[in-house]
Structure 1
Amino acid sequence: MSRAKVFTPKVVTANLLVEGDVVYLSATDAWVTSLGDAEVLTDEAIAEARLIDGAEQTETVVGVYLADVSDGPDGPEPVHFREAFRATGPTNYPHGKAHEVA
């Protein structure tokens, strides 16, 4: 007898088509740059539907997929290293898009 796999909360993420910035789909269907503003999906069927919603926005984003998150003290937090790296933003300091590290 096998146990059903527990669904891990997810967010829909992608990259902006023109700028390349990492973005997340919010509950209002807007693409936001802060993981804290992303819609956290706790139901597998809804997550799949939201993934389709995001993937249909081909004039705005590319590479749309679901990323695992956990509930942190300040909102969703990445579960995997790749997503933690993406959430910190690019490291191209001359372009002003990188987050400063204290």
Structure 2
Amino acid sequence: MTGRIVTANRLRDGAVVFRTKSGAWSSRVADAALLGEAEAAAALAAAQADAGRQVVVAPYLAEAEAGPDGPVPVEFRERIRAAGPTIGLPGAAQA
């Protein structure tokens, strides 16, 4: 199944986060809700409300496919965001 996931950056620390089915935010792409077009629009609206409450910044939809462990982003940029930094940062996991 191909669908959409909602992603943003957590305002507190800048971490890449993904919106779950329950409406929470997770740093694991595997926890992201894989949504159809109608569901995606509603989830993005809810994510934008979270941005208004200063929980996350710049939420948007990204295309993803169902994988064995959860959604897998389609676009290369989104795969990098999901995997983490590609350079060594102090205290950060490296992809």
Superposition deviation, residue 94 in structure 1: 4.2
TM-score of the superposition, structure 2-length normalised? 0.87
2:60 corresponds to 1:65: yes
Give me the identity figure in percent.
45
Larger Rg: 1
Could you list the structure 1 runs, at least 4 aligned residues long, displaced by more than 3 angstroms after superposition.
91-94
In 2, the alpha carbon distance for the partners of 1:85 and 1:94 equals 15
Number of corresponding residues: 93
Superposition deviation, residue 28 in structure 1: 1.1
Gaps spanning 5+ residues in structure 1: where? 1-7
Question: Which position in structure 1 is the counterpart of 2:40?
Answer: 47
Of stretches 83-92 and 64-73 in structure 1, the one that deviates more from structure 2 is: 83-92
Q: 2:32 aligns with which of 31, 38, 59?
A: 38
Superposition deviation, residue 76 in structure 1: 0.9
Pick the structure with more strand per residue: 2
Q: 1:89 aligns with which of 72, 84, 90?
A: 84
Gaps spanning 5+ residues in structure 2: where? none
In 2, the alpha carbon distance for the partners of 1:52 and 1:80 equals 22
TM-score of the superposition, structure 1-length normalised? 0.82
Letter in 2 for 1:84: R
Superposition deviation, residue 18 in structure 1: 2.3
